[in-house]
Amino acid sequence: MTDSSGSPIDRVEVLALGPDLPRHAYTAHLPAPYTTSTLVRITDGDGAQGLGQFDSDSYGAFDLAPLETLRTLAPRLLGRDPLERATTWDEIRDHGTASDMPGVRSALDIAQWDLVARRAGDPLHELIAPRATDAAPVRMPAYASLPTLASPAAYGDDVERYLAEGYRAFKIHAWGDAERDLEAIRAVRDVAGDDVALIYDAEGCFDHPTAERMMPALGDLGVRWFEAPLPDLDLEGYRGLMRLDGVAIVPAGDAIWDARLIREVMHDPPWSAMRFDVTFAGGITSAIKLFDVAAAFGMDVEVTSYGQTLVQSANLHVMLAFGRTSFFERAVPSAEFEFGVTTPITMDAAGTVGVLDAPGMGVALDDDAIASAVLASFSVDTSG
């Protein structure tokens, strides 16, 4: 690791972005959400910059709540040394007493990590790498994460198209109707064949009897894991499913982020693997703590990486650093998740993704595109 020292943070800029992109549903129980990308750009006194982003879904309109929360948090970074980001992380979450979601703070933490790695001239995962295993991968196999489609046949058609692009794994978001969802998974298996990995995400829509009834069929279909069969906080329900044979069980990962709480939960594991999104869980500083818990219990972490490029990149760098994740979740159609950047994450013909050999996250912004999508913004700096 090269020298990453530099000046304290001099400026913080926050932009709420609502780009005009297609919206997709992921269950029949909810409409297609509006996704607001809250972008954070921090600058130190020498002009070095770091980026972070938090994508939030809302219904009926875009969501300015993250930006408004950051109005009170962003000024607290001014004058701070980003090398002391762990201390800053604890202080801006008010030592655990804050009532807002950690995701709002994630963008601040990630931007500091990105800035420090950029100053050092190293990829972000190398800044995290001292915590990694020796087996940390260079590239990750990707699965195509499909939205809810019109029919089982539509899933088969999409999978056939994405197979031709190199994908060897798929996640099915269907309707939240057990029998119809199984029909869609069968249609995908018929097209994909037995060598392709299939994941099924129920979006927490089922009760325990329905989820239990589905498990043998999912096992017969060779589903890699059954994601979010129940709401995340139904821990006893998950533990009941874990006692059954059939298929691995993974949560949505949207409701439990605190490493201390997950450590308690894992004494009687409710899941086959942990799951969270770095940009939801409090950033990279928080992710390190969560991966420590996973290592202590010998458990994999199927990291979420659904979102625009900055969200994808933060999660991918963490995956590469720790090497406990089996797949990168790539939202499709992928072009719709590359808004506002000139350096999207790309997949090779073998169906794997990697990061650019560039400092930090390696993400460069398309300033004109960003400007076209700004819903609201503010900035603070040390000049007052």
Which of helix, strand or coil describes residue 130? helix
CATH code, domain with 242: 3.20.20.120
Residue 76's CB is within 10 A of a number of other CB atoms, namely 16
Whole-number pLDDT of residue 244: 94
Q: What is the mean pLDDT of residues 107-131?
A: 91
Do the domain assignments include residue 261? yes
Domain co-membership, 83 together with 114? yes
- Decide if 262 contacts 292 (C-beta within 8 A): no
Q: Where are any strands of DSSP class E within 45-86?
A: 49-58
Whole-number pLDDT of residue 167: 97
DSSP code for 357:
S
- Decide if 285 contacts 89 (C-beta within 8 A): yes
- The confidence band for 131, taking pLDDT boundaries of 50, 70 and 90, is very low
Q: What is the 3-state secondary structure (H, E, C) of 132-166?
A: CCCCCCCCEEEEEEECCCCCHHHHHHHHHHHHHHC
Domain co-membership, 93 together with 139? no
Domain co-membership, 197 together with 346? yes
Domain co-membership, 292 together with 156? yes
Residue 273 is part of which domain span? 127-353
Domain co-membership, 75 together with 202? no
Domain co-membership, 104 together with 152? no
Do the domain assignments include residue 193? yes
Domain co-membership, 77 together with 183? no
Domain co-membership, 89 together with 166? no
Residue 218 has pLDDT above 80, yes or no: yes
Domain co-membership, 264 together with 134? yes
Domain co-membership, 141 together with 66? no
Domain co-membership, 311 together with 325? yes
Do the domain assignments include residue 146? yes
**Per-residue pLDDT reduced to its tens digit, 221-239:** 999 999 999 999 999 999 9
Q: Where are any strands of DSSP class E within the chain?
A: 9-17, 34-44, 49-58, 140-146, 169-173, 197-201, 223-227, 248-250, 328-331, 352-353, 374-381
Whether pTM > 0.85 for this model: the answer is yes
**Per-residue pLDDT reduced to its tens digit, 271-292:** 999 999 999 999 999 999 999 9
Residue 18 has pLDDT above 70, yes or no: yes
Whole-number pLDDT of residue 2: 63
Looking at the 3D structure of the chain, how many domains does it have?
Answer: 2
Spatial CB neighbours of 52, under 8 Å, sequence gap ≥ 6: 39, 40, 42, 106, 107, 108, 109, 110, 111, 112, 114, 279, 283, 310, 314
CATH code, domain with 102: 3.30.390.10
